[in-house]
Amino acid sequence: MNRRALLSAVGAAAVSTSAGCLSSGVEGSEEVRLGLVTVSNRSDREQTVDVVLRRDGETVSWTRHDVRRRDGEVIPGDRIDCLLDEPAGAYEALTLLDRTGETFEHPLVANGHGTRDVSIVVTEGETVELFGPAGPADEERCRNAPILDAVDP
């Protein structure tokens, strides 16, 4: 397991945020409130994924997920958290794929809305991409719905 890469990325982000007076340390970031955050796996291999969510340079969530491999049209997924009760800020997601040891860093932007649901997806090429609806976060789904395996559209 190569958690050193993720720990290094988290540490480097913390140093960069403390270097400037008001800098979030997240290039391209903007104020956003996150809603439902999920992780899913479109690859043909099981994946262990560490996900660190940071707001304004501070870690607000660090979770580890063992996500089954894609099975035909079914894309396995897992709920990370509903963050609607967290304050707005400059959010970023740091992810580590345990199998490859690669770390990915993504700013989470509002896309013109004050809130946003986000899905962190391991792709067929074993990279990490972010997806989410163009509209605001779905509060009812965020607070109430369990995450079930999705069907690829």
Whether residue 19 is predicted with pLDDT greater than 50 in this model: the reply is no
Q: Place 115 in a pLDDT band, splitting at 50, 70 and 90.
A: confident
Backbone phi, psi, residue 27, to 5°: -65, 135
Query: What count of Cα atoms within 13 Å lies in the side-chain half-sphere of residue 12?
Result: 10
Give the amino acid at 18: S
Rounding to the nearest 10 degrees, give the CA dihedral for residues 73, 76, 80, 81: 50
Q: Place 128 in a pLDDT band, splitting at 50, 70 and 90.
A: very high
Question: pTM value?
Answer: 0.75
Instruction: Give the pLDDT confidence of 61-73 residue by residue, as tens digits.
Output: 999 999 899 888 8
Question: Is 67 in contact with 39 (CB distance < 8 Å)?
Answer: yes
The better pLDDT of the pair 126, 9 is held by: 126
The residue count of the chain comes to 153
Distance CA 47, CA 43 (A): 8
